[in-house]
Amino acid sequence: MQNGKNLKRKEKKIPHHNLDRVLFFLLLFSSSINLLHLPSHAEFDCVGASVQKFNFKFNASNAYETIKKQVNYGARYPGSLGIEKTRKLIANELQSSINWDINFQNFTKKWNEEDVKLVNIICQPPNFDVSTPNFLLMAHYDTRLWATSDPDPERRRDSVPGANDGASGVGILLELGKVLVEYGITNFRLIFFDAEDQGGILGWDWLVGSRYYVSSKDSELQDISWAILLDMVGAINATFKRERNSDMYAKVLLDQIWDEAANLNYSNYFINESWKTILDDHVPFLQAGIPAIDIIDDFSSRYNPWHTTYDNLTYIDVDTLEAVGYTLESALQKLVQSTDWMNGLTRFNYVSKFTITVVLGSIIMISLIVRSSGKDARKIGKSNKINNS
Ligand SMILES: [Zn+2]
């Protein structure tokens, strides 16, 4: 019986073997035909990629040029000539071809006894659409007054050129904003914050511009469904990890962006790995219950010129700009096409690390007090028993 079965199997295998040969020759034939179709340069670029990247509108060279212009203005700390020039650049870039509605939100803050003019720049595309859930794309455009982390102590009162920390976010957003309008997407605003990066200098705090915006634009915030912040998005070999606050309060949004990066073979930039909490311009939005994520470089494992005089153009890489630009161009188109993904995106009550620490600390303190008073009560009970006996 066993032998007979084996024989049957052998008999069945013979035609399969022939079929394999036929398939092999067919494959050889079809690949030789493919060889005749010489791929264009763009197609060579995407060998191995699941998506054909040559269809993208985002132009990383344009983003680079805008970064270069900002750096050439010199220091762009609040109240400087450089930051005034940057404001004009932002307005000119958005109004040169089509007329964006640009709202300069002015306010002042004392710095060294003097009032400093601060300006958040809120930009609405033409035909801004409030009827559909709208979103924000954000970056800070100031640079740090002092290079407080410079390796040379003598240079720690020099200004930071801010090619990556400041200019890169602005460069990408200006290009991305124009691209989205070309796709007919109009339910978003670009916001450029002043005074993000002066924390610890002459008594200033971080996030001054974004905090002011969130505290003063209550009615505008009602219509905002979600927000994406870009900060330090142009460095060579940048790595963007899942910032903890973003992951905790806007996981669905974070997943959408990181998944799209993976689809485009950019997982070497958008690392699918939990990271620490970063204090950045998305935090005031989270505190207001608005889902917001921060795309920010984790440079801890490599050379970084953060808050030094070396944060200049040599540190900026067009490939990184392209990775961020392509990922957002692709992801944002999908995010606005369907709002189903937003089911998992809800407003929430933000609980800061400070609150968690205070609450946990209080619970521990109370339980210790209760425990020790219980011990005391038992001791008194014991001594009463002894006295009574
Ligand atoms: Zn900074």
pLDDT of residue 220: 87
Residue type, 264: L
What does 71-114 look like in DSSP terms, one character per residue? Answer: HHT----TT-HHHHHHHHHHHHHHHSSS--EEEEEEEEEEETTE
> What are the residues whose beta carbons fall under 8 Å from the beta carbon of 363, sequence distance 6 or more?
none
pLDDT of residue 234: 98
CA of 166 to the centre of ligand 1 (A): 7
CA of 45 to the centre of ligand 1 (A): 34
CA of 199 to the centre of ligand 1 (A): 9
CA of 307 to the centre of ligand 1 (A): 6
pLDDT tens-digit readout, 253-296:
999 999 999 999 999 999 999 999 999 999 999 999 999 999 99
Is a pLDDT exceeding 90 seen at residue 252?
A: yes
In the chain, the largest separation of any two C-alpha atoms, in whole Å, equals 108
CA of 249 to the centre of ligand 1 (A): 23
Confidence of residue 8 (pLDDT cuts 50, 70, 90): very low
CA of 306 to the centre of ligand 1 (A): 7
CA of 144 to the centre of ligand 1 (A): 6
- Cα dihedral 34, 35, 39, 45, rounded to 10, equals 100
CA of 109 to the centre of ligand 1 (A): 19
CA of 165 to the centre of ligand 1 (A): 5
CA distance 131 to 225: 12
Q: What is the pTM of this model?
A: 0.79
Q: What are the residue boundaries of the structural domains of the chain, listed by start? A: 2-37, 55-344
CA distance 152 to 171: 29
CA of 206 to the centre of ligand 1 (A): 9
pLDDT tens-digit readout, 206-220:
999 999 999 998 888
CA of 318 to the centre of ligand 1 (A): 20
Identify whether the C-beta of residue 94 lies closer than 8 Å to the C-beta of residue 205: no
CA distance 358 to 356: 6
CA of 126 to the centre of ligand 1 (A): 31
Confidence of residue 101 (pLDDT cuts 50, 70, 90): very high
Quote the tokens at residue 362.
């209080």
CA of 357 to the centre of ligand 1 (A): 26
CA of 283 to the centre of ligand 1 (A): 15
CA of 160 to the centre of ligand 1 (A): 9
Residues in the chain: 389
Question: By C-alpha distance, which of 231, 23, 194 is closest to 105?
Answer: 194
Confidence of residue 97 (pLDDT cuts 50, 70, 90): confident
Question: By C-alpha distance, which of 85, 189, 102 is closest to 141?
Answer: 85
What value does the mean pLDDT take over residues 65-81?
98
CA of 229 to the centre of ligand 1 (A): 13
Is a pLDDT exceeding 60 seen at residue 28?
A: no
Quote the tokens at residue 95.
């109004």
CA of 301 to the centre of ligand 1 (A): 18
Question: By C-alpha distance, which of 186, 185, 161, 104 is closest to 316?
Answer: 161
CA of 217 to the centre of ligand 1 (A): 24
Is a pLDDT exceeding 50 seen at residue 6?
A: no
Comparing 375 with 118, the larger pLDDT belongs to 118
CA of 146 to the centre of ligand 1 (A): 10
CA distance 121 to 191: 6
pLDDT tens-digit readout, 343-388:
878 767 777 655 666 777 777 888 887 787 776 666 655 555 545 5
CA of 256 to the centre of ligand 1 (A): 26
In the chain, which ranges are continuous DSSP H helix?
A: 2-36, 41-45, 60-72, 81-95, 168-182, 208-216, 218-222, 244-249, 251-263, 283-287, 318-337, 353-388
CA of 271 to the centre of ligand 1 (A): 21
Least confident of 21-35, 166-180, 194-208, 310-324: 21-35
Quote the tokens at residue 377.
């009560």
> What are the residues whose beta carbons fall under 8 Å from the beta carbon of 206, sequence distance 6 or more?
196, 197, 198, 199, 279
CA of 241 to the centre of ligand 1 (A): 17
CA of 197 to the centre of ligand 1 (A): 5
User: Is the CATH code 3.40.630.10 the one for domain 55-344?
Assistant: yes
